[in-house]
C-alpha cells in the first residue's frame, strides 16, 4: 500500500526531512504540511463530506496530526467531522512521551500514535496500516453517509428491490403479509409501507398477537364495553378504532388463536367490528399489515391456520432475507446503530475500525439485525475511546465462522476483549487476567504466531501500539520478530 501523508502541525526542519525520507523510501508523494486551522479553513465546515474532500489524492491520504493540535478549541469539532467522514489519523507525540500520553491520543480516536524518536521503519508500518484502513473504509462504506428516509438502512441489491416494491404497493390500501426470520426488520418494513401511503399521515398501530391470551386479545383488538370481563371498568376502544385512517400492524400473526381467526377474517372483509360485550357494530377505514416468522402455508396444510384468512391477508407477500444474505449492508447498519447507541447512552463513540466491520461481516448473525444492534450497543457501552477497535469483539462460540489464526498459531487459548482466558474444548469458569498475565500471554501468542502483532492484539483486545510497547520493553533476546 502506497500512501500520501498530510502533516497537520508546526513541522521543524528535521521533521520535514524525516517525513520526506520516509515518503521517498515508500515511493509516496512528498508530504503536505499545514496547521489544523488553515487545513480546515476554520471555522470547520459542517458537512463531513467536505472534510473528506480536503484530503483527496491519487494515493490513499493519511493524516499525521501533531499532539499540540489536539488541545486547540477547533479540535473538538474537527474530531467529530473526521469520524463522520471516516477519516483516520495518526497522532505524533514528542520524543520520550510517556505511555499515558499515548493512551490519551488513542482515546481521542487516533488510529495509532507515533513518537518523534521512533525509527523510520515504525513510522512506515504505522502510516501504511492507516492507509490500508482508509482504503478498506472506502470499500466498505463507498463514500459519504446517506440518510435513509424510509427507515431502511443499506444499499444492497436486495434492499433496493425491496424499496422499489414498497414504492409501488405502499400508496395502495392492499393488505401485505411480511415474512422473514426473527430480527430481519419486519416491523420496519411495515412502517415504511405505512409512510408510503399519504406520507404516513394516519396513525400506525402495532400489536403482537402472542403478547396477550385470546380473551384479552379480542378486547384489545376490537374494544370492550364496561363489564364485558373482570376488570373492564369502562368502555374502551380497540386498536382497530385507534388505527382508523391509518395502519394496523399485526405482528407474529402465525400464532393467532384459531378461535379469533374467523372474527379477524370477517373484519378484513367488511372493515366492521363489534366491541366485546357490545351490541352495535362500528366501521373503520384501516389498512392491515401482518408479519410472521412462521411458515403459514405449512400451518394451513396442518389445519392450524385458516386458508381463507391467509389469502385475505396476503394481497401481497414480502419475504425478507436474513442478514447473512445481505452482508454488504452490515457496514451501514453498524454506523447507524453506533450513532443511535452513542446518543442514547451519552457516549462519545463516533466510529469503528474497518477491520472490526469486516469481522462483523464474517459472522452469520442467527439473530439477524436485532442481534447486530444489540452487539453494537454493548460495544458502545463498554467503549473507552471514540473509536471501536478491531479487538473489541470476537464471534461467539457458535453460529458462524471465527477468524482463522495465522499459520502455526495455537488455538488452545482465546482471550476476550474483557480480558478473560477461555481454553478450547474445556468448560471452565472465566478467570480475569492481570496485566502481568496478559503480557505473558501476549508473548506466548507472539511466539506461536511467528510474531504477528496484529493478530495477537486482536486476540487480546488491546491496541497494536500497546503490544508494540510491550515488545520494546522486553529484553531483545526474548523478543519475537515483529510481523505487522
Q: For 229-282, what is each residue's pLDDT tens digit?
A: 667 678 888 899 999 999 999 999 988 889 899 999 999 999 998 887 788 889
pLDDT, position 280:
86
**27 is written with which cell numbers?**
515511493
Q: What is the mean pLDDT of residues 25-35?
A: 57
- For residue 27, what pLDDT band results from cuts at 50, 70 and 90? low
| CATH number 1.10.8.60 given to 326-403 | yes
Q: What is the mean pLDDT of residues 381-403?
A: 74
The C-alpha atoms of residue 150 and residue 193 are separated, in whole angstroms, by: 9
Domain with CATH 3.40.50.2300 in the chain: 3-141
From the CB of residue 214, how many other CB atoms can be counted at a distance below 10 Å?
A: 12
- For residue 406, what pLDDT band results from cuts at 50, 70 and 90? very low
Contact by Cβ (8 Å): 451, 420: no
The C-alpha atoms of residue 338 and residue 332 are separated, in whole angstroms, by: 10
Residue the block writes with cell 520524543: 95
Which residues lie across from 236 on neighbouring strands? 224
Percent of the chain with pLDDT over 90: 29
pLDDT tens digit sequence for 119-164 = 888 888 888 888 887 777 777 766 444 445 667 888 888 888 999 9
Q: What is the CATH number of domain 157-323?
A: 3.40.50.300
pLDDT, position 475:
61
Q: Average per-residue pLDDT in the chain? A: 77
The C-alpha atoms of residue 416 and residue 431 are separated, in whole angstroms, by: 11
Domain with CATH 1.10.8.60 in the chain: 326-403
pLDDT, position 150:
67
The CA R_g of the chain, rounded to the nearest whole Å, is 29
| pLDDT above 70 for 417 | no
Domain with CATH 3.40.50.300 in the chain: 157-323
b/e for 137-174, b at 16 or more Cβ within 10 A? beebbeeebeeeebebbbbbeebeebbeebeebbeeee
Contact by Cβ (8 Å): 256, 296: no
The CATH topology of domain 3-141 is Rossmann fold (3.40.50)
Contact by Cβ (8 Å): 446, 453: yes
From the CB of residue 344, how many other CB atoms can be counted at a distance below 10 Å?
A: 11
pLDDT, position 165:
92
pLDDT, position 54:
45
With residue 249 as reference, give the H or E element that holds it: strand 247-251
Contact by Cβ (8 Å): 10, 38: no
| pLDDT above 60 for 413 | no
Amino acid at each position: 500500500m502506497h500512501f500520501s501523508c498530510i502533516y497537520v502541525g508546526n513541522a521543524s526542519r528535521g521533521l520535514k526531512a524525516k517525513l520526506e525520507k520516509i515518503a521517498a523510501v515508500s515511493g509516496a508523494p512528498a508530504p503536505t504540511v499545514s496547521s489544523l486551522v488553515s487545513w480546515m479553513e476554520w471555522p470547520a465546515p459542517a458537512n463531513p463530506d467536505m472534510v473528506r474532500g480536503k484530503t483527496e489524492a491519487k494515493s490513499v491520504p493519511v493524516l499525521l496530526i501533531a499532539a499540540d493540535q489536539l488541545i486547540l478549541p477547533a479540535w473538538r469539532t474537527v474530531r467529530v467531522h473526521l469520524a463522520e467522514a471516516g477519516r483516520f489519523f495518526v497522532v505524533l507525540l514528542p520524543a520520550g512521551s510517556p505511555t499515558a500520553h499515548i493512551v490519551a491520543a488513542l482515546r481521542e480516536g487516533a488510529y495509532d500514535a507515533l513518537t518523534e524518536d521512533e525509527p523510520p521503519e515504525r513510522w512506515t508500518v504505522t502510516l501504511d496500516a492507516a492507509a490500508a484502513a482508509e482504503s478498506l473504509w472506502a470499500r466498505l462504506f463507498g463514500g459519504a453517509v446517506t440518510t435513509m428516509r424510509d427507515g431502511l438502512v443499506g444499499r444492497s441489491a436486495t434492499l433496493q428491490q425491496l424499496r422499489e416494491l414498497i414504492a409501488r404497493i405502499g400508496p395502495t390500501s392492499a393488505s401485505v403479509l411480511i415474512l422473514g426470520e426473527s430480527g430481519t426488520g419486519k416491523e420496519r418494513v411495515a412502517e415504511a409501507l405505512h409512510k408510503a401511503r399519504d406520507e404516513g399521515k394516519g396513525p400506525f398501530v402495532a400489536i403482537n398477537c402472542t403478547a396477550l391470551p385470546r380473551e384479552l386479545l379480542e378486547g384489545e383488538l376490537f374494544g370492550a364495553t364496561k363489564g364485558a370481563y373482570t376488570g373492564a371498568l369502562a368502555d374502551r376502544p380497540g386498536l382497530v378504532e385507534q388505527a382508523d385512517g391509518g395502519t394496523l400492524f399485526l405482528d407474529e400473526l402465525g400464532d393467532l388463536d384459531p378461535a379469533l381467526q374467523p372474527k379477524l377474517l370477517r373484519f378484513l372483509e367488511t372493515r366492521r367490528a363489534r366491541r366485546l360485550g357490545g351490541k352495535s357494530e362500528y366501521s373503520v377505514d384501516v389498512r392491515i399489515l401482518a408479519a410472521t416468522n412462521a411458515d403459514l402455508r405449512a400451518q394451513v396444510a396442518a389445519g392450524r391456520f385458516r386458508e381463507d384468512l391467509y389469502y385475505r391477508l396476503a394481497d401481497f407477500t414480502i419475504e425478507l432475507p436474513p442478514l447473512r444474505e445481505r452482508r454488504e449492508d452490515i457496514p451501514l447498519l453498524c454506523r447507524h446503530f453506533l450513532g443511535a447507541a452513542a446518543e442514547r447512552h451519552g457516549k462519545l463513540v463516533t466510529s469503528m475500525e474497518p477491520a472490526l466491520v469486516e469481522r462483523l461481516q464474517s459472522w452469520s448473525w442467527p439473530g439477524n439485525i436485532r442481534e447486530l444492534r444489540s452487539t453494537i450497543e454493548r460495544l458502545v457501552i463498554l467503549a473507552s475511546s471514540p473509536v471501536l477497535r478491531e479487538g473489541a469483539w470476537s464471534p461467539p462460540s457458535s453460529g458462524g465462522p471465527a477468524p482463522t489464526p495465522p499459520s502455526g498459531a495455537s488455538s488452545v487459548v482465546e482471550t476476550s476483549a474483557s480480558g478473560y482466558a477461555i481454553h478450547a474444548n474445556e468448560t471452565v469458569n472465566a478467570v480475569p487476567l492481570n496485566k502481568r498475565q496478559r503480557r505473558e500471554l501476549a508473548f506466548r501468542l507472539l511466539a506461536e504466531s511467528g510474531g504477528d502483532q496484529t493478530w495477537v492484539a486482536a486476540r487480546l483486545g488491546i491496541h497494536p501500539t500497546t503490544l508494540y510497547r510491550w515488545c520494546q520493553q522486553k529484553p531483545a533476546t526474548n523478543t519475537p520478530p515483529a510481523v505487522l
